[in-house]
Amino acid sequence: MTNSADFQSDMSSEAVSVLICESSSVQLRILSEAVRQAGYTVQTAQCAEEALKILQLMPVDIFLTGIEVGTMSGLEACWSLKSNCETESVYTIVVTASGEDRRLEESLDAGADDFIRKPVNMTELRARLRAASRLVRMQNQFRRLAETDALTGAANRRAFMQYLDIQTQNAGRDEIPLSVIMVDLDHFKLVNDTHGHGAGDRVLVETVRAIQGCLRDGDMLGRLGGEEFCVILPGAGLHSAALAGERIRAAVEAMTIATEAGDPVPVTASLGVASLANSDLIVSPDALLQAADAALYHAKDSGRNRVSLEGEAEAATSQASLRAVS
């Protein structure tokens, strides 16, 4: 649970990035140097088109732009940011010329969050950036809280499914593999019944910590409910995902957890692995999860504390049928 002190600490330690768009190379150099000296990370662009490309490639917290910045105006760039769900949270500050109240009104109508007049007073600019930074940090913190499971720190189901949807689209578009690993703790109800829910909570927290230690940048761990978790592995085929699943299984089994009285709490997990590239039948996030879930049930039926791959249950059933016929 996050208290107010933790909240303030998280916000104060978070770096804020600023993208400055200005057609004048002299003004761009002056602004970027002032912003950089104020402690922000800075990216620069000399036209709106270039700025939008940068925004597609990397996260930016604050967009500071002039109005006349190429074929596309800074106002059009603001409108483009605010109309895109992936960039609508970028805080936008428009630099307007003195006396151009009409352009100021246009800036706000285009979705700008703030404005500053030319010639830019650096003291005022730093003050406006500080105010913007407070809002950006608070917004980021609230977003993390909204997307995170409160107990374990894993992604919650909503955030997990959004990421899976994005990665499924990317896999189909770029023709790259995508795998998921369903993870379910074995006999977790028995842990709660025997040792209490406090011990059960510790098991869940330590399980997430163990799984996250096995993941790469870009992978996501989500808690889907109760003792069931799932991992998204962008770019991983079935073989690579199976190896990752085995690392996770071993890490969970190796956890050392004890009750407050010092009694050991053994923990194991069963895992099911499915890959988008492995089956033409899997064409949606739900279908991918269903295939992993079927593999998970096969792992449980086969004795638990093991990794099962999609298709293994069907293969085992077919072999049993052949043996029965023969």
Enzyme catalytic residues: 227
Residue 319 half-sphere exposure, CB side, CA atoms within 13 Å? Answer: 6
Residue found by looking up tokens 């007073």 in the block: 121
Residue 10 half-sphere exposure, CB side, CA atoms within 13 Å? Answer: 16
How would DSSP label each residue in 33-48?
Answer: HHHHHTT-EEEEESSH
Instruction: Return the DSSP state at 58.
Output: S
CA distances from 257 to 135, 176, 200, 267, 312 (A): 40, 38, 10, 8, 32
- The rounded distance, in Å, linking the Cα atoms of 244 and 230 is 12
Residue 314 makes CB contacts below 8 A (sequence gap 6+) with none
Contact 242, 307 (CB under 8 A): yes
Q: Which of 100, 74, 78, 99 is nearest to 87 (CA)?
A: 78
Taking phi over 0 as left and psi of -120 to 50 as alpha, with beta for the rest, 193 belongs to alpha
The alpha carbon torsion through 156, 162, 168, 170 (nearest 10 deg) reads -120
- The rounded distance, in Å, linking the Cα atoms of 308 and 295 is 5
Residue found by looking up tokens 């990752």 in the block: 244
